[in-house]
Amino acid sequence: MQRREFLSAAAMGTVATLARSAAVIPQPVARPVVIGSVNGHFFKNGGQKTVIETAWEMMARGSDVLDALIAGVNIDELDPADPYVGFGGLPNAEGVVELDAAVMHGPSKRAGAVAALEGVRTPSLVAKAVMELTDNHLLVGTGAQHFARNAGFTIESDLNTDTSRQAWLDWKRRTDSANFPDAARRSLTEPAGGFAYSTHMYGTIHCSGVNTAGDVCGVTSTSGRAFKIPGRVGDSPILGAGLYVDGRVGAAGSTGRGEANLFSLASLLVVEGMRAGKSPKDAGMAALQRIRANTIAPRLRKDNGDPNFNILFFIVNTRGEHAGVALYGEDAGERGYAGQTNSEFARYSVCDESGPRIVNVEGLLPGTPQQ
């Protein structure tokens, strides 16, 4: 072999070796991010970290994405300051706190959920146990509670706080004065514990996350509509409505009027829109259009025919691209959290390498609900 040929072959071999070496260096396939409903940015349950900060830090340390998200959501579930989630959530019409939650694990294509669960402060953990220990996706009511007890969860007799119990009594005095007369009642404008009535009386926490490998998972947890009919189940624990995750595509979760989401299975629509190539924002807007088209009952419509309620979606794909969308980008019914000033804008929470923050959602329709 000529010297020139030898050197050329050696150089090519070196290039090939370097190429092979480069090929085995793991490259991020996604920009890691945790997103969620706005309450994920505020509640700390007396600790130092919020829901989204906790989830992000655990995910960054290598924890399974779902484990990280649930650990974050547990902070809100255990915090009695949030009247719409977990311990101290506003009770049903009989004064009983009933909780709903769902979890979905994208990489393993597994899911679990519970609905109308009484006595356990962290329904998201019970939903995870359903996913891991059973061949079922959803357990409800007394059956869900019996399962939780057998799985090792402590069952409490009452998840009300003084604030949630007083709010229920105030509601009963407003709606059933024959049995709950006004005499000696507390002020309805300044109830015990600083609870303030909002116009929509529902709330939920949702949290989704993607790590550098593109693993995507999601969690949704709620105490449901305040003072609901006992046994009412909204969209939160229903796969495809309050939460849907496809490990190859992304995740979507929701807060707002659960019945509207249930009828359209809109979180599934969002994910299917992303599967078809839409961006998170465009997929969300298409699902909102479906909800708008399906809202025909006069009692649910404004004078101009648009829906008279709000619903929000929190969306992320496996590349870490995300969006928050709502029927109305301005929501006059949104209440402040943790002493924050009420905002006219509906918002969502984000935590990534730049830190935690809240971002205004994109609205489909102008104005606000009239409710």
What pLDDT, on a 0 to 100 scale, did the predictor assign at position 24?
Answer: 47
Residues 175-214 pLDDT 10s: 988 998 875 555 444 444 444 544 444 579 999 999 999 9
Q: Which residue has the tokens 């294509």?
A: 109
Residues 229-280 pLDDT 10s: 999 999 999 999 999 999 999 999 999 999 999 999 999 999 999 999 999 9
Name the least confident of 15-24, 128-137, 163-172, 272-281: 15-24
Is the domain 33-365 a CATH 1.10.1040.50 member? no
Residues 88-127 pLDDT 10s: 999 999 999 999 999 999 999 999 999 999 999 999 999 9
Query: What integer best gives the mean pLDDT of the chain?
Result: 88
What pLDDT, on a 0 to 100 scale, did the predictor assign at position 119?
Answer: 98
What pLDDT, on a 0 to 100 scale, did the predictor assign at position 362?
Answer: 96
Work out the angle at residue 141's Cα, subtended by the Cα atoms of residues 137 and 145, and round it to the nearest 5 degrees.
85
Diameter over CA atoms, the chain: 108
Its pTM stands at 0.87
In the chain, where do the E strands start and end? 33-37, 99-105, 110-117, 138-140, 205-210, 216-222, 243-246, 250-256, 311-317, 322-328, 347-352, 355-360, 362-365
Exposure string of 314-344, with b = 16+ CB inside 10 Å and e = fewer, is bbbbbbbbbbbbbbbbbbbbbbebeeeeeee
* pLDDT, greater one: 352 or 19: 352
What pLDDT, on a 0 to 100 scale, did the predictor assign at position 189?
Answer: 45
**Residue 151 pLDDT class (50, 70, 90 cuts):** very high
Instruction: Tell me the catalytic residues.
Output: 204
Distance CA 114, CA 98 (A): 10
What pLDDT, on a 0 to 100 scale, did the predictor assign at position 29?
Answer: 81
**Residue 285 pLDDT class (50, 70, 90 cuts):** very high
For 307, phi and psi rounded to 5 degrees?
-60, 140
**Residue 337 pLDDT class (50, 70, 90 cuts):** very low
Q: Distance of CA 294 to CAs 94, 182, 259, 298, 301, Å?
A: 31, 40, 11, 12, 11
For 161, phi and psi rounded to 5 degrees?
-105, 175
**Residue 15 pLDDT class (50, 70, 90 cuts):** very low
* pLDDT, greater one: 194 or 77: 77
185 burial type by CB count under 10 A (0-12 exposed, 13-18 middle, 19+ buried): middle
What pLDDT, on a 0 to 100 scale, did the predictor assign at position 47?
Answer: 96
Average pLDDT, stretch 20-36? 70
Every domain of the chain and the residues it spans = 33-365
Name the least confident of 5-9, 279-283, 323-327: 5-9
What pLDDT, on a 0 to 100 scale, did the predictor assign at position 4?
Answer: 52
